């Protein structure tokens, strides 16, 4: 991140001799001069590091005087088997953006402009050390001018590995399915024109392909939705600038920082009612996911584009991984897009856009990928070398070494061969980068997860010690790890599905745990569901089970369900055919959503709960009654009261949220009384629900609890691997 040139400049300023280099241990520098000069250097060194630099630790040692007569930047030193950090991909910096817009600059309108402070990193890196021959830029020998910049310590592009210009670097082309229509600057102008004309484009980006169309063009967005067969799952947007975003969404200071930061994630923001964005972008949602341009090409697309926002959704069919190879374009993208904006810089590792939201003035991860991966999580303690496989949905994997947890980028739902292949590829890649040879493999207890089978294989073939970790214990350990919490805590894990130690499906859990183990203090009362897998996509089945359980005979929503279907489910429930008992919080939300007639069938994960949160009326304070009987948190009375409140669904939705928060708080108070523990960790995918999170965190802090939340790691299953690794480490240490 321009660290060595900065040290070089600083050394010259204080007239010091010596050297600086990147080594596997970090940055190593030797400085030689008078005591006052050295002291002045060190003061400045500590006080004003470059903006992107993050210094974890500074180790100092006094050395006998040497022979140095000048200060030099030496080449990187990589010791075999040693560990180096791999930088994530960074959004274009202001200086490069100025070059891009300056007609007198040789990089004017050049879509691959970058420097030491910005540009592609992880996505183009094939092996370490991070030097040009190890990146996909090896195919583009630098011209004399670029090479001069690259070798000049005073230049912003000193050792900028992807350094390029129009004379020597990659270029873009615009094509339809049959032929190339334009290249270089003309290609981007044509792409803009086609977007204006309502066409759907496949655009090759930094870590993969996007599908794009004008987000205010309703017909275009609907056509894209139809082609992707993605039904209602929200599309991400890219907006021209901050002012455009502020026209569509409510943006506060923390959101502004996240949007404009160097990592440029998609930020989930409250949408302004009746904004110009097509309602087909995020049906049934009150939030929009928006990001700002992060590559020079994105900026060029928006310049005089005549559109304020583009849909920028990962180019893939339904749940397959994002398309990233040029060879896949014909097969996989021809059916989806009308035109193609391509370039010839290869993507080595695919990296999706990251997704965050803002809570309590802080960025909170939902999907951790571009700009974040593979930056390590500093655990603040040394851990064994472990591979943690993650879960089934929103999978990520984790390798540990030293005091670092290295989380992969978002891999996806482990439900098809493509995602499995990506998982294995990512593991191999990260093991090579970080020189990690795990001695143990941690996995979820669910016997049918693909990741469980992978762990079993690794035990058999590689002799790794295999450690099964309970799903919700892993969620809480993940929250503990990123907050560096030690000792015992109360863990509140609220999510959809996690395999329990009793073989049932858990998901509304109050635990007492540390890394070494957990005790289940309380959980949502078990309810039997009919046809576990079908039920997830058909919340009416779930609602029927919860209604019968609560003694409701004829809930109103059933009028929308055929008598025959209803009978099938009732028979299954009566006879216990293909039923599964669950304490899931997510299923309770699904049930209430259907009970209120909001969502009887879903077409993406979490839809029923998301739409229930979206309609919840503000300003409603009271909860419904619930029972807390021993270890069972019983919502039968809640269900009966929801069913009696059908004529005011927005109020019922708010009261229901309040009830779940109140039940969690009450259960935590009892646990405090019984155990003396007053630190609570909140985790699990249901806490992506901001209404529930706000309400729960608020009542717990009002009661005097210290509450820990996720920020760097997602609360959903994308954060599981971190917890699995910490628990495995604790087991190995015994």
C-alpha span between 734 and 730 (Å, rounded): 7
Q: Least distance in Å: CB of 719 to Fe ion?
A: 9
Q: Least distance in Å: CB of 696 to Fe ion?
A: 17
The residue (of 390 and 623) whose beta carbon lies closer to Fe ion is: 390
| Cα angle, residue 130 at apex, residues 127 and 133 outer, rounded to 5° | 70
User: Pick from Fe ion, Zn ion, none: which does 191 bind, CB < 5 to 8 A by kind?
Assistant: none
C-alpha span between 517 and 488 (Å, rounded): 9
| 52 near Zn ion (CB under 5 A) | no
Q: Least distance in Å: CB of 515 to Fe ion?
A: 18
Distances (CA, A) of 352 to 323, 355, 540: 10, 9, 33
User: Pick from Fe ion, Zn ion, none: which does 379 bind, CB < 5 to 8 A by kind?
Assistant: none
Which of 143-151, 209-217, 219-227, 579-587 is the region at the interface with Zn ion (rule: CB under 5 A)?
Answer: 143-151
The residue (of 140 and 546) whose beta carbon lies closer to Zn ion is: 140
Q: Are strands 17-23 and 71-73 parallel, antiparallel or unpaired?
A: parallel
Q: Least distance in Å: CB of 366 to Fe ion?
A: 14
The residue (of 260 and 571) whose beta carbon lies closer to Zn ion is: 260
Which of 66-74, 229-237, 490-498, 557-565 is the region at the interface with Fe ion (rule: CB under 5 A)?
Answer: 490-498
Q: Least distance in Å: CB of 167 to Zn ion?
A: 5
C-alpha span between 243 and 246 (Å, rounded): 5
User: Pick from Fe ion, Zn ion, none: which does 392 bind, CB < 5 to 8 A by kind?
Assistant: none
Q: Least distance in Å: CB of 49 to Zn ion?
A: 18
- Binders of Zn ion among 512-551, rule CB under 5 A? none
The residue (of 29 and 393) whose beta carbon lies closer to Fe ion is: 393
Q: Are 41 and 11 in contact (CB under 8 A)?
A: yes
Q: What is the DSSP code string of 461-497? A: HH--EEEEE-HHHHHHHHHHHHTT--S-EEEEEEEEE
User: Pick from Zn ion, Fe ion, none: which does 165 bind, CB < 5 to 8 A by kind?
Assistant: Zn ion
- Binders of Fe ion among 689-718, rule CB under 5 A? 717
Token pair listed for 238? 């890219």
Distances (CA, A) of 510 to 502, 507, 524, 707, 708: 16, 10, 9, 14, 14
Spatial CA neighbour of 226 closest among 340, 342, 341, 335: 335
Residues 79-98, mask of contacts with Zn ion (x by CB under 5 A):
--------------x--x--
- Tell which one of 32, 353, 363, 495 touches Fe ion (CB under 5 A): 495
Half-sphere exposure at residue 276, Cβ-oriented, CA atoms within 13 angstroms = 13
The residue (of 371 and 606) whose beta carbon lies closer to Fe ion is: 606
Q: Are 489 and 683 in contact (CB under 8 A)?
A: no
Q: Are 12 and 127 in contact (CB under 8 A)?
A: no
User: Pick from Zn ion, Fe ion, none: which does 616 bind, CB < 5 to 8 A by kind?
Assistant: none
- The distance of Cα 247 from the centroid of its chain, to the nearest Å, equals 26
- Binders of Fe ion among 29-58, rule CB under 5 A? none
| 137 near Zn ion (CB under 5 A) | no
Q: Least distance in Å: CB of 368 to Fe ion?
A: 15
Q: Least distance in Å: CB of 493 to Zn ion?
A: 42
Region label for 323, one of left (φ > 0), alpha (ψ between -120 and 50) or beta (otherwise): beta
Q: What is the DSSP code string of 176-243? A: -SS-EEEETHHHHHHHHHHHHTT--EEEE-SSSEEEEEETT-HHHHHHHHHHHT-TTPPPEEEESSHH
Distances (CA, A) of 565 to 547, 554, 558, 596, 607: 16, 15, 10, 19, 22
Q: Least distance in Å: CB of 648 to Zn ion?
A: 54
C-alpha span between 665 and 76 (Å, rounded): 53
The residue (of 164 and 610) whose beta carbon lies closer to Zn ion is: 164
Q: Least distance in Å: CB of 110 to Zn ion?
A: 9
Which of 36-44, 166-174, 224-232, 544-552 is the region at the interface with Zn ion (rule: CB under 5 A)?
Answer: 166-174
C-alpha span between 159 and 248 (Å, rounded): 40
- Describe the crossing of helices 607-615 and 585-595 by its angle, rounded to 10 degrees: 60
- Binders of Zn ion among 435-464, rule CB under 5 A? none
Q: Least distance in Å: CB of 416 to Fe ion?
A: 20
Token pair listed for 355? 């997704």
Which of 55-63, 124-132, 249-257, 491-499 is the region at the interface with Fe ion (rule: CB under 5 A)?
Answer: 491-499
| 167 near Zn ion (CB under 5 A) | yes
- Tally: H helices and E strands in the chain: 21, 29
Q: Least distance in Å: CB of 684 to Fe ion?
A: 5
Looking at residue 119, what DSSP letter applies? B
Q: Are 315 and 336 in contact (CB under 8 A)?
A: yes
Q: Least distance in Å: CB of 471 to Fe ion?
A: 6
Which of 236-244, 264-272, 422-430, 496-504 is the region at the interface with Fe ion (rule: CB under 5 A)?
Answer: 496-504
Task: Give the total of residues touching Zn ion (CB under 5 A).
Answer: 10
Residues 278-307, mask of contacts with Zn ion (x by CB under 5 A):
------------------------------
- Tell which one of 7, 11, 124, 146 touches Zn ion (CB under 5 A): 146
Looking at residue 332, what DSSP letter applies? I
User: Pick from Fe ion, Zn ion, none: which does 717 bind, CB < 5 to 8 A by kind?
Assistant: Fe ion
Half-sphere exposure at residue 273, Cβ-oriented, CA atoms within 13 angstroms = 1
The residue (of 162 and 376) whose beta carbon lies closer to Zn ion is: 162
Distances (CA, A) of 2 to 50, 162, 196, 569: 8, 13, 39, 63
The residue (of 375 and 471) whose beta carbon lies closer to Fe ion is: 471
| 118 near Zn ion (CB under 5 A) | yes
The residue (of 363 and 495) whose beta carbon lies closer to Fe ion is: 495
Token pair listed for 278? 């097509």
| 581 near Fe ion (CB under 5 A) | no
Residues 497-516, mask of contacts with Fe ion (x by CB under 5 A):
-x------------------
User: Pick from Fe ion, Zn ion, none: which does 289 bind, CB < 5 to 8 A by kind?
Assistant: none
- Binders of Fe ion among 359-418, rule CB under 5 A? none
C-alpha span between 525 and 583 (Å, rounded): 6
| 173 near Fe ion (CB under 5 A) | no
SS3 (DSSP) at 149: helix
Q: Least distance in Å: CB of 2 to Zn ion?
A: 9
- The neighbouring-strand residues paired with 270 are 287
- Tell which one of 10, 124, 165, 662 touches Zn ion (CB under 5 A): 165
User: Pick from Zn ion, Fe ion, none: which does 458 bind, CB < 5 to 8 A by kind?
Assistant: none
User: Pick from Zn ion, Fe ion, none: which does 167 bind, CB < 5 to 8 A by kind?
Assistant: Zn ion
Residue in the shown chain whose Cβ atom is closest to Fe ion: 495
User: Pick from Fe ion, Zn ion, none: which does 495 bind, CB < 5 to 8 A by kind?
Assistant: Fe ion
- The neighbouring-strand residues paired with 522 are 510
The residue (of 471 and 729) whose beta carbon lies closer to Fe ion is: 471
For tokens 């334009």, the residue is 182
C-alpha span between 387 and 423 (Å, rounded): 12
Q: Are 300 and 174 in contact (CB under 8 A)?
A: no
The residue (of 385 and 395) whose beta carbon lies closer to Fe ion is: 395
User: Pick from Fe ion, Zn ion, none: which does 93 bind, CB < 5 to 8 A by kind?
Assistant: Zn ion
Positions touching Zn ion (CB under 5 A) are 93, 96, 115, 117-118, 143, 146, 165, 167-168
Positions touching Fe ion (CB under 5 A) are 495, 498, 717
């Amino acid at each position: 991140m321009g660290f060595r040139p900065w040290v070089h400049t600083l050394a010259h300023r204080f007239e010091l001799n010596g050297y600086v280099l990147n080594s596997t241990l970090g940055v190593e520098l030797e400085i030689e001069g008078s005591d006052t000069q050295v002291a002045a250097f060190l003061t400045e060194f500590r006080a004003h590091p470059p903006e992107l630099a993050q210094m974890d630790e500074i180790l100092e040692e006094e050395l006998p005087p040497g022979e140095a007569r000048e200060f030099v930047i030496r080449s990187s030193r990589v010791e075999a088997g040693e560990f180096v950090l791999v930088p994530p991909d960074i959004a274009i910096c202001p200086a490069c953006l100025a070059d891009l817009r300056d007609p007198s600059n040789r990089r004017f309108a050049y879509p691959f402009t970058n420097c030491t402070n910005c540009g592609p990193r992880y996505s183009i890196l094939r092996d370490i050390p991070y030097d040009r021959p190890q990146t996909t830029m090896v195919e583009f020998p630098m011209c004399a001018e670029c090479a001069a910049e690259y070798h000049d310590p005073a230049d912003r592009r000193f050792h900028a590995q992807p350094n390029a210009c129009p004379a020597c670097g990659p270029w873009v082309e615009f094509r339809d399915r049959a032929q190339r229509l334009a290249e270089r600057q003309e290609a981007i102008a044509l792409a803009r024109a086609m977007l204006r004309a309502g066409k759907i484009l496949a655009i090759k980006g930094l870590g993969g392909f996007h599908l794009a169309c004008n987000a205010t063009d309703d017909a275009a967005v609907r056509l894209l939705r139809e082609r992707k067969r993605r039904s209602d799952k929200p599309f991400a947007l890219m907006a021209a600038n901050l002012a455009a975003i502020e026209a569509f969404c409510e943006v506060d200071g923390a959101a502004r920082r996240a949007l404009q930061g160097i990592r440029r994630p998609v930020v989930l923001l409250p949408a302004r009612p009746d904004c110009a964005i097509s309602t087909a972008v995020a049906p049934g949602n009150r939030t929009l996911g928006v990001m700002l341009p992060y590559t020079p090409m994105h900026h060029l697309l928006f310049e005089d584009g005549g559109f304020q926002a583009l849909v920028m959704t990962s180019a893939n069919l339904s749940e397959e991984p994002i398309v990233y190879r040029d060879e896949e374009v014909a097969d996989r993208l021809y059916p989806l897009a009308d035109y193609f904006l391509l370039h010839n810089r290869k993507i080595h590792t695919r990296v999706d856009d990251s997704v965050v939201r803002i809570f309590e003035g802080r960025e909170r991860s939902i999907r951790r990928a571009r700009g974040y991966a593979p930056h390590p999580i500093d655990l603040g303690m040394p851990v064994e070398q472990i591979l943690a496989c993650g879960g089934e949905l929103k999978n990520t994997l984790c390798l540990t070494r030293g005091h670092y947890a290295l989380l992969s980028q978002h891999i996806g739902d482990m439900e098809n061969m493509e995602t499995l292949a990506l998982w294995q590829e990512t593991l191999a890649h990260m093991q090579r980068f970080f020189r990690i040879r795990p001695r143990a493999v941690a996995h979820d207890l669910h016997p049918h997860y693909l990741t469980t089978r992978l762990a079993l294989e690794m035990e058999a073939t590689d002799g790794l010690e295999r450690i099964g970790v309970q799903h919700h214990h892993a969620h809480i350990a993940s929250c503990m790890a990123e907050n560096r919490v030690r000792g015992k805590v109360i863990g509140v894990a609220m999510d959809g599905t996690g395999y329990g130690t009793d073989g049932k499906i858990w998901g509304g859990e109050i635990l007492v745990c540390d890394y070494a183990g957990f005790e289940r203090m309380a959980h949502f009362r078990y309810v039997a569901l009919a046809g576990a897998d079908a039920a997830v996509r058909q919340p009416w089945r779930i609602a029927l089970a919860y209604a019968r359980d609560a003694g409701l005979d004829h809930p109103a929503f059933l009028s929308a369900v055929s008598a025959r279907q209803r009978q099938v489910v009732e028979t299954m429930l009566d006879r216990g055919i293909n039923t599964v008992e669950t304490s899931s919080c997510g299923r309770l939300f699904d049930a209430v959503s259907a009970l209120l007639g909001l969502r009887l069938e879903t077409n993406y994960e979490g839809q029923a709960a998301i739409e229930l949160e979206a309609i919840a009326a503000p300003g409603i304070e009271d909860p419904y009654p619930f029972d807390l009987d021993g270890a069972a948190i019983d919502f039968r009375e809640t269900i009966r009261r929801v069913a009696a409140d059908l004529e005011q669904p927005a109020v019922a939705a708010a009261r229901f949220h309040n009830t779940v928060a109140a039940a969690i708080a009450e259960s935590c108070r009892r646990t405090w009384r019984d155990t003396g523990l007053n630190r609570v960790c909140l985790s699990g995918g249901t806490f992506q629900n901001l209404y529930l999170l706000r309400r729960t965190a608020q009542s717990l802090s009002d009661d005097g609890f210290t509450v820990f939340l996720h920020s760097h790691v997602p609360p959903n299953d994308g954060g599981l691997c971190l917890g699995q690794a910490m628990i495995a480490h604790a087991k190995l240490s015994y």
